Structure 1
Amino acid sequence: MTEPRHDLAHLGHVELLTAKPDESLRFFVDVMGMTESGRDRDSVYLRGWDDYEFHTLKLTASHTSGVGHVAFRTWSPEALDRRIHELEAMGAGLGWVDGDLGHGRAYRARNADGHVFELYYDTRWYEPPPELRPALKNQAQRYPARGCNVRRIDHLNLLVVDVAETRHFLERGMGMRTTEMIVLDSGVEAGAWVTCTNKTYDIAFTKDHTGTPGRFHHVTYAVDSREDILRAADIFLEHGVHIETGPHKHAVQQTFFLYVYEPGGNRVEIACAGARLMLAPDWKPIIWTQAERAKGQAWGLKTVESFHTHGTPPVA
């Protein structure tokens, strides 16, 4: 067996598209508690208060909602070269782009579903202005004490036509490993969770019930505790933000969750992942059956219908 190469360091950022850029920006800054770190043309760059990079969310004005691209930072320039070699061997490579405000040149690839992935190494560390400098030098930025006060980007979830294909793309092309899966009675894979770190997952993807390729399910920002999520629910209530489901606990991956929609229509999750870490080098993926998933979430909450049907961009 070939020893796996752990070439990706972590999820870097997600680009969200919105047809309501001003409203979406107010949501992420005033309600989520994120900080704006820069602007370039039709895009605004945002971050959680303890994200070390310049940005983890790129919010881009568009005619519709959805995901522009997903980016991962590699461990080294050599690791980036290895990933490029593998992606090109798979026929998935798109080539180099100049990169965003927050990082240097990046290599782009695309899976069969049409989602665009970006890999880069050279990055820009966030340097807070004097009024945002923290008291502790090992913290990226002063605690904002605004809105939900999200700390860092955690993961994202994509909607795909073929779960098995996307899993193969991320395992081979990106060097990630699968931690949990949903397999239906028919043998069809309905969802998978993969990681490039010691977190239980950095990206998840589930089957799009509309059969439409390239759509987006949600992006997730982490807070420190379940109490923070309960407080976030009250904050969303006060701001008139529709809560889709939660607070509650997932069965898959045991994430404590709360889901809402930002004004552009994209789903956003606030989560506390708890203490589960992927420390075992020989971890075998947990397989969830159709009957087990039909039971709903960990404490019996049934999965709301919109969780299966709502994605961006919207389809009829």
Structure 2
Amino acid sequence: MFPVIYSDEFLLHDTGYFHPEKPGRLTAIKTALEAAPWANQLDWRLPTPVEARSPLPLVEMIHDRDYLNQIRRLANRGGGFIDGETAVSPRSYEVALLAVNAWIDGVDFTMTSGQPCFVLARPPGHHAVADEGMGFCLLSNAAIAAYYALEQGLDRVCILDWDVHHGNGTQAIVETHPNIRFCSLHESPQYPGTGHPAETGFHQNVLNLPMAPGSTIEDYQPLFEKKVVPFLNEFQPDLLIVSAGYDANQADPLAGLSLKPEDYRLFTEYCLGVTQRIVFGLEGGYDFKALGNSVVETIAACL
């Protein structure tokens, strides 16, 4: 059985009907997974409730309290925007904490079982820096999960970000830690304008691979084989966290790369060649059909 960590509560982060990062993203993925021929092999798991395990002490290790209070105040006032595109609704603060719990649950499962899992949660997180949310992101889920894994006794954690946008928040939070490696493949030029190859981290622990607009799997594959996999393998990670964004699909409206859903099966196979201990967590992806099909391909490779 393959665990998918999901709750309908993630739909309560209400960004508005016209916002690209909306609840329908998750329902589209869930519908696609339930229609897959191996749907009976999925183990749908609820995340640990915030009341049962508050992630706040861990979150406060990563994010400034003033910023967290800003999200909470916005939610309590009925919602608003952190910036022009990053929305907060009345339930967003608690839903964001639940999303952190889901990523932590993924780490717990993978550490115990040695097997991969998928965290189907929102809001996404890889653009959120310590003191500011941006790019639809509120809390830095992948970075928090990596620090949590180290707190649980793991020695080395890698984060691979294949979202079309550079994970500037994740990089900013982990690049100072010698026991975390971060690798990102992302379109350039593209939001948020970071992720230059010269950004290598404080311990040569960052690898940025910008992709030209229009790039296809033929451009990605040699980079995975010659750059990404060696960078991850050299570190011999105890855990691999994948910021699994699917907006590099050709069908996606917010970017300009030309991947197909089936290409994510190949990405996943490369990851499984590094380690079976993988936590896949949802980031971007805004064409519902391509998004759902891409997650299906990711999990199919694991099965």
- What TM-score do the two structures reach when normalised by structure 1? 0.29
Structure number with higher helix proportion: 2
Structure number with higher strand proportion: 1
- What TM-score do the two structures reach when normalised by structure 2? 0.30
Structure 1 or 2, whichever has the larger Rg, is 1
